[in-house]
Structure 1
Amino acid sequence: MSPRRSYDQYCSAARALDAVGDRWTLLIVRELLGGPRRYTDLHADLPGVSTDVLASRLKDMERDGLSTRRRLPPPGAAYVYELTARGRELLPVLHALGEWGAPALGELRPTDAVRAHWFALPLLRGLEAVGAGEGLVEVRLEEGLFHVWLGGAEEGPLYGDGPAPREPDARLAPDARTSGALNRGTSTLLEELREGRVAVTGEGPLAKALREV
């Protein structure tokens, strides 16, 4: 393992950047907020990262107490990476970076990779701002399905790829224009819900609350 690089500045921001300032580190955190991931899964959802750089960043994150590696019991018998409590504390940092970076998104470029679950964190911010309560929400985009846990997920995953693992408390289906506007920060989920541009289905309290905002 390479020695830890440091700015050697007695400043909390500099200390934070010692741990997460390298390219790809915060994006690995973004992926691990969705729960334990295998190395191959991380590599598939971080297009552009080399295998050497990904392995190096994961080792650095483990050394710095941001993540751990554990072996799944049989029949899985694979290693997975997951965030520690210290690593999960980076969620507000990613929220702030996402809000700050939203105006720079612009339109999707031909060279831009995209994954449905990359919309999970902006959507969580929007759902929390609406204040509709807690529950499991399944979201359908043109890019695919994902699900998010709203509230109460202090230790478990915040989101996941694919259909919800159980009957969701609400299902959302924003159209392409709406999901783009929410990603870029040019509109809010509250505005889109009130304008009827996000289809909400489900009979639970969360779905009803989202329809009545």
Structure 2
Amino acid sequence: MISKGTELTTFVTGLNGSATIDTTLLDVLVDTAKTVLEEERPWMALRKTDTSLSLLTTNTWQTAKSLSGITDFSRFYGDGVIKLFDGSNLIHYYSQVPFDRRLEYKDDNSTFVFDENAGTLYFNGTPPFAGTLHIPYVSTSTAIDLASTSAVWSVFPSRFLPLLGFYAIGIHKGAVDYDDINAQMLPENRATMQALKNAMEKWDDARQLSAIENSDPTELYSTPRSGAIDTNS
């Protein structure tokens, strides 16, 4: 099983009939594959909670909180709720509202807006207490170094790393280096890539179900409520 950047490079070269691909082109192909796959769904492995920002009771609806320190931020995760925690027992919830409705919500201290262009948060109203913000988000994984002798894309199990190779070679053979021979090879490569992608999605589905299957408040003693699907059967 491959896990290192150099091994991924060798794998792609093998898929390309042992013909090397320009280093820059290969880097872009693999990065494109990684970007597309990671943005397709909120993978459990990419979910994080940032606690680097805080609020004071002196903050107002015009106080900007920059997300520039969260370098791997992709998008908010969940139902758009950010929690303010006092470090003991108090939790205050902020729900996201549209940035272009900022003035209408400026006095509602249960809401926040996000300036996508500037990458800044604004919490409306006055904070009920000082505390740390808990911001759930989907992250982007570390860039893949194809010359690295260390593990790459390690946020996911190494058994899924070949998926990036199949994806990258599919783009290369189908768009950059297309000919009659590659046309015959593309369907098999595509089928293998899709099968591996399906396996990765099922792996993630199981992790997502595991996180929520015991959170239904209407279930008692681990017995599914009436009409529910028993995922353990």
The interval holding the TM-score normalised by the smaller chain is: under 0.3
Larger Rg: 2
Structure with greater contact order relative to length (CA < 8 Å, sep ≥ 6): 2
The TM-score, its normalising length taken from structure 1, stands at 0.25
